[in-house]
Amino acid sequence: MRKAMIFMGILDDGDAEWLGKKNSTKYVPAGTILIQEGRPIEDLYVLLDGRLSVLIQKMGNREISSLFAGEIVGEISFVDSRPPSASVVAVADSHVLVVSRPVLIDKLKNDTAFAARFYRAVATLLADRLRGTVSHLGYGDSTEEIDPDELDDALMDSVSMGATRFDRLLKHLRIN
């Protein structure tokens, strides 16, 4: 849910409403592969409920991450247009918001304010994920203790509004 609060907190009310109205939901039964490593994807996903697992073939399909409500999936491939570097599998019955690439690209081209907020939200999530990974791996020899779950003061103001927007989105989509 933390990711949803960050993402939806950077977007505004109109952006969240657009996501719910111009895109569709998909039921993903447990065991279903949502994203296959190495195969191009056409959509971006927001996990609305359930649980997904991120797996990497080179690591023997070992789970490298669990994803819960509010996580964005497929954003890296959306940004760089390359095939995904990991597979994403539903480990519990789940619902996702399917954000169509062509619909999103059209919105980004025609609404520069939305584009700025959207790319800032994606960049913030990617930075948050990278900080968590670096913290987990113990990269560098910094003696400074950094809590990977700590939010920047600038984000704190928008987090509660992000939670409200995510809840509204779930209610609009009748999930939960």
Number of structural domains the chain divides into: 1
CB–CB of 84/37 below 8 Å? Answer: yes
Q: Which long-range contacts (CB under 8 A, 24 or more apart) does 110-117 make?
A: 114/11, 114/14, 114/15, 114/18, 117/10, 117/11, 117/12, 117/15
Q: What is the rounded CA–CA span in Å between residue 133 and residue 142?
A: 15
The pLDDT tens digits of the residues spanning 2-33 come to 677 888 889 999 999 999 999 999 999 999 99
CB–CB of 55/62 below 8 Å? Answer: yes
Which CATH number is 62's domain given?
Answer: 2.60.120.10
The pLDDT tens digits of the residues spanning 50-108 come to 999 999 988 888 888 899 988 899 999 999 999 999 999 999 999 999 999 999 999 99
State which residues form the domain around 152. Answer: 2-173
More confident residue, 162 or 143: 162
Please name which of 137, 134, 169, 148 lies closest in space to residue 9, comparing C-alpha atoms: 169
Output the pLDDT for position 1: 56
Output the pLDDT for position 160: 74
